[in-house]
Amino acid sequence: MRKENDPLQTWINREGMALVTDFYQLTMVTGYFKTGIHEKRVAFEYFFRDLPPHSGFAVFAGLEQMLDGVAALRFSGSDLAYLQDTLGFDRDVIEFLADFRPKLDIWAAPEGSVVFPHEPLARVEGPLAAAQFVETFILNALNYPTLIATKAARMCLAAEGDPVMEFGLRRAQGPDGGLGGARAAYIGGCAATSNVLAGRVFAIPVRGTMAHSWVMSHASELESFRAYAEIFPNAAVLLVDTYDTMKSGVPNAIKVFKEMRKKNPNVRAAVRLDSGDLARLSKDAYRALTAAGFSDPQIVGSNDLDEDLIADLKRQDAKINSWGVGTHLITSRDYPALGGVYKVVAVEEDGTWAPRLKVAGNPEKTTDPDRKQAYRLFNAAGNPLADVLYPADSPAPRQGPVTGVDRKRFYEEYSFDAARVEPLLIKVMEKGKLKGQRPGLEQIRERAQAGINLLREEMKRLRNPDVYPVILLKLRSGFLRGAPGARLKRCFRFNHARFRNKTDAGKVAKEIMGRSKIFTPPGPQRAGDPERWRMPLDFRTAVFAGRPFYHAAPV
């Protein structure tokens, strides 16, 4: 039962976090309010552009806590006093913020879903001021958990079914990083955590052994083992590398486990290796323990492990059957930040949605305009084939052939025979109120594991995994050849319903060609195909959403 004014629950429920934002969110909200456009309806989407290196998928995490934070968002009296007295916001703005409630509609992928780059994982619709203000909090709430859940999934794949325990609290980025990281790691597949608070708050199994200081605090290693086994007879995992693993640690552990076996014939010998050549030492320890009559010893390996080292130890037939991972997991050391972004994709004008397109100096940062729904296509065996992006208001694809185009190379077409089609995004918030039944952490974890298991093995490789297709709805586009001007006209002809005639389509094409900064040939041309050109990213609106470019104004 929650106690009144319990600061822990306030923290866990993400209450009182209105100022967990960037200053420019407040200045923009102020500007929207002052200019009278704060109630204009807009749509933002959260997505990421790149997976961590060598990853074939990501595990979406952090959603439930993000929703808690958005639903609870309020400015306290002390928040408002700070904004007025210290930061100098006007009185009318303070009064506006005093009644500020993010009455937003949110669609999102269920937490624990296996997800991929460039597809919307959350879509936020509502008044401009509210949808803008939650940007920083949403990014903060989703990027780190998704990163850690993905890292944990890779480590668990490398462990090939052995339990992986998250031991990263002491190296985490502060208490909240340790707590949120433990939750995300559990979603990604870790079996337990050393973080006691995470165990209390999220009901994650808590595990631990002993430190070298325990051994060194006793008169001898053998005495330290006996004392620990007497106090914790059902959870005695003995750290055997304080002095000499095979000359001292393992022999002393065997003595203690033999003594314990006299009281409990079913006792399982368990040791931890935290230094040295883990492959060789685990084999030596295994031989010694089995020779002493312990047929199924638990051998825990730790010491700065990551998925590559775990996989390498597996290849060397190390006898480790339980893994403790810390720094490399909780910090995602090789890729410490997921580049999730939150971009406006549409603005409501005269009762209809007008798409918005960000045209960036870097083509890879050009966004896909309009409100979108991602549909996952499955084969008859239940394995995912591809995700295809549709305008949110378009009819869903059906079973059977589904075609699409590559989101970067529009002339590349894909076709899949879908035995089943599922929408990725579901409505989880309506006008600021949580919607539907909330899943528990175990259900989220089970969803993640089931999704990973359905992926093709080629996508789960630790190096150079196969790329999962995320494609755009194919309208009447296709590979286009010829001179750029003619090709542009043909690009727009497929969308003839939007134009009165081919001449109008050609005029729009010429306008785009004049405005585009990223219309360039792709480099060396193929022999025998001198006029092959790549579709410029500016035409994403035309191919995907079926709207001319000038309706997708840069923002």
Residue 473 burial by CB count (10 A; 0-12/13-18/19+): exposed, middle or buried?
A: buried
221 and 321 assigned to the same domain: yes
- Structural domain contains residue 404: no
- Environment class of 505 (CB within 10 Å of its CB; exposed 0-12, middle 13-18, buried 19+): buried
pTM of the complete model beyond 0.75: yes
Beta strands in 259-406 (DSSP E): 270-273, 298-301, 322-325, 340-349, 352-355, 372-378, 384-391, 400-406
65 domain-assigned: yes
Distance in angstroms (rounded) separating the CA atoms of residues 446 and 187: 8
Query: Are 11 and 64 part of one and the same domain?
Result: yes
Domain identity same for 170 and 26: no
pLDDT of residue 500: 41
- Separation of CA 198 from chain center: 20
Contacts of residue 105, defined as CB under 8 A and 6 or more positions apart, other chains included, come to 124, 125, 126, 427, 429, 430, 431
Q: Is residue 153 part of a domain?
A: no
Distance between CA atoms of residues 381 and 430, nearest Å: 35
By residue count, the chain amounts to 555
User: Running DSSP on this structure, what letter comes out for residue 206?
Assistant: B
Mean pLDDT across the chain? 87
Indicate if 292 and 166 belong to the same structural domain: yes
Give the Cα separation of 285 and 288 in Å (integer): 5
246, 136: one domain: no
- Flag whether 263 is in a domain: yes
SS (H, E, C) 39-83: CCEEEEEEEECCCCCCCCCEECCCHHHHHHHHHCCCCCHHHHHHH
Q: What is the mean pLDDT of residues 72-96?
A: 97
Instruction: Convert the pLDDT of each residue in 342-375 to its tens digit.
Output: 999 999 999 999 999 887 677 777 888 899 999 9
Does 496 share its domain with 508? yes
pLDDT digits (tens, 9 = 90+) for 255-303: 999 999 999 999 999 999 999 999 999 999 999 999 999 999 999 999 9
Q: Is the pLDDT of residue 341 over 90?
A: yes
The CATH code of the domain that includes 44 is: 3.20.140.10
Same domain (yes/no): 170, 41? no
Stretch 146-170: mean pLDDT, rounded? 98
**Dihedral sign of CA atoms 494, 497, 500, 505 in order:** negative
pLDDT value, residue 360: 67
Q: Which of 471, 505, 534 is the last residue of a domain?
A: 471
- Residue 549 · residue 541 · CB < 8 Å: yes
Assess if residue 411 is contained within a domain. no
Q: Does the pLDDT of residue 310 top 80, yes or no?
A: yes
Domain interval for residue 492: 473-551
C-alpha dihedral (107, 113, 118, 119), degrees to nearest 10: -40
Task: List Cα–Cα distances, 491 to 383, 403, 410, 523, 535, in angstroms.
Answer: 34, 18, 10, 21, 9
Please check whether residues 225 and 350 belong to one and the same domain.
no
Question: How far are the Cα atoms of 62, 445, 515 from residue 141, in angstroms, in the given order?
Answer: 6, 18, 37
Distance of alpha carbon 491 from alpha carbon 487, whole angstroms: 6
User: Is residue 547 scored above 70 in pLDDT?
Assistant: no
Q: Is residue 553 predicted with pLDDT exceeding 60?
A: no
- Supply the pLDDT for residue 478: 33
Same domain flag for 196 and 274: yes
> At which of 434, 455, 471 does a domain end?
471
Question: Is 194 found in the same domain as 74?
Answer: no
Judged against a pLDDT cut of 70, whether residue 521 lies above it is answered with no
Evaluate whether residue 189 is within a structural domain: yes
Residues 179 and 317 in one domain: yes
Give the CATH number of the domain where residue 193 resides: 3.20.20.70
Report yes or no on 391 lying in a domain.
no
52/169 same-domain check? no
Last residue of a domain, one of 471, 487, 503: 471
Which are the contacts of 402, defined by CB distance < 8 A and separation ≥ 6? Answer: 377, 388, 415, 416, 417, 418, 421
How many folded domains does the chain comprise? 3
Q: Could you tell me if residue 387 is inside a domain?
A: no
